[in-house]
Amino acid sequence: MYSEDEIDPHRETAPHFSNPFANDEPGDENEPWRNGSDTNEAGKAEDSAEENDNSDQTHERHEHNHEDQPTTSHPHPHPPPPALSFTVGHLVDRSKRTPVYTFSAVTNMPRFKARKYTGVERSQVEFERLETHLQATYPECLVPTLGPGTTTSKYVPEYQNDRLVVLLLQQWLDRVSRHPILKQDYELRQFVEAPFVFNPALSNSPALTMAPTPASSSSGFFSWGKSRQQPRITSGSTPFEQMLETTSANLGVFQRNASDVRRWHGRLARTQARLAVDLRDVGTKLVSVGVIEHNAQLARAFKRLGKSFLHAGPCSQTLANSEGSRTWAVLGLEAAACADVQRTLQCRQLIFTEHQVAERQLERKKQAAAVLRSSSSINPDHAQDAVAELAAAKADADSRRQRAERVDRVLSTDLRVFEYGREGDIRAMFAALARDHLHIERQVLSEQRAALEFVRQGKIRGAESRAQQGTA
């Protein structure tokens, strides 16, 4: 039933590596003008000398052709850009509490010890550790949201779509490996090369702490009359910050709507599952009636109708599995991704706030150094301490200024990539759901046509038998 591309939330953003190890510059044999340019220029010079007595128009034509001739310099071949690609294999063991995956990696980055890794096994917990490390280490980047290790929900608890889990994991690895900053991370290399369990050391620096997620508004008595407006994530003084405010508000609305759609899809899946059970029960009862019926024509009709209901039951269960697992998982992932984007935007404001605090601290250190310099009695120990504190404050302010300058540049690109990926994920999800519905409806329609043809044949046979009895 499932085609190779029916569940592909990463189709629109699939990586295309055109052999990163190949030389980007074409060879000299493909560019004859590089080898023959000197000869051509000499020929042009000889022609111009022989035709010097001709008209000025011909002389100008030769000079024009000489200027259009390319240079003879041989540019040095540029090294290929750093590339990293992953290919997820399959789930090794589902019997454990958390799934374990196998994947292979290919890279040309010099910091890796090898160019190709195969048969690497990592559990869902280790992938979650890597995601947490990337979020804590790079608060200025939009770290892709890791998919769930399971598609089992309370609506279809007995169904597990392992292929969807693998595809969502492949999507996450592809997006991380294409990010220009995340793919350079040291722990990502350790994630690939570690021979045993991967357990990164998270940084506890105050500058790298994640901004807290705003708590949801309470519905108690003492919360009556309080404003439910979300806190602002920027000052809104520039067009880019206004765009970030609009994006945060739109993602908040989308997150709430996606959560509602996810919940209602789950209820629809539960209804479909109940309908599947009822269809099977009705089909079984109709077949039983056909078995005990003494009228042969009527018995065949009951059996055929029961067969139609028995065929419709698994079709309804398939739709329940599709709506309660795939749609449920993808919409939950998109809602979590919106929450991660909002948290990243809050981290941006935190980075700018820390930069302003560092600048004010630097100004105070400068004022203290100026007061100490103007003093008549200077203690050497105090002077050395002041100079050291001023240098530390300057270094801290410079590093925070660089991060503040980088965050908007990185965030602008990451937001465009996020919007493109979100659009592709939702489109692919609904396209796969529509293909499933269409496939199931075709099966049901084919069964109904067969039942209708059976009824028509029964009518014909009944009319013929009655005609024969009348003739007799």
Q: How would DSSP label each residue in 29-82?
A: GG-HHHHHHHHHHHHHHHHHHHTTTS-HHHHHHHHHHHHHSPP---PPPPPPPP
- Phi and psi at residue 4, to the nearest 5°: -70, -25
Provide the pLDDT confidence category of residue 193 given band limits of 50, 70 and 90. very high
Instruction: Of 40-49, 275-284, 292-301, give the lowest mean pLDDT range.
Output: 40-49
Report the predicted TM-score, pTM, of the whole model to 2 decimal places.
0.70
Q: Which residues contact 154 (CB under 8 A, 6 or more apart)?
A: 266
Which tens digit of pLDDT belongs to each residue from 194-205?
888 888 876 544
Which tens digit of pLDDT belongs to each residue from 121-143?
999 999 999 999 999 998 889 99
β strands within 250-332, DSSP E: none
Partnered with residue 86 across adjacent β-strands are 105
d(CA 412, CA 419) in angstroms, rounded, equals 11
Which helix (H) or strand (E) segment holds residue 241: the answer is helix 239-292
Q: For the purposes of burial, counting CB atoms within 10 Å of the CB of 325, is it exposed (0-12), middle (13-18) or buried (19 or more)?
A: buried
Q: Which of 318, 332, 326 is nearest to 162 (CA)?
A: 326
In the chain, % of residues over pLDDT 90: 32
| 359, 386, 454 from 364: Cα distances, Å | 9, 11, 93
d(CA 313, CA 442) in angstroms, rounded, equals 14
- Is the confidence at residue 50, as pLDDT, over 80? no
- Phi and psi at residue 72, to the nearest 5°: -100, 5
Provide the pLDDT confidence category of residue 466 given band limits of 50, 70 and 90. low
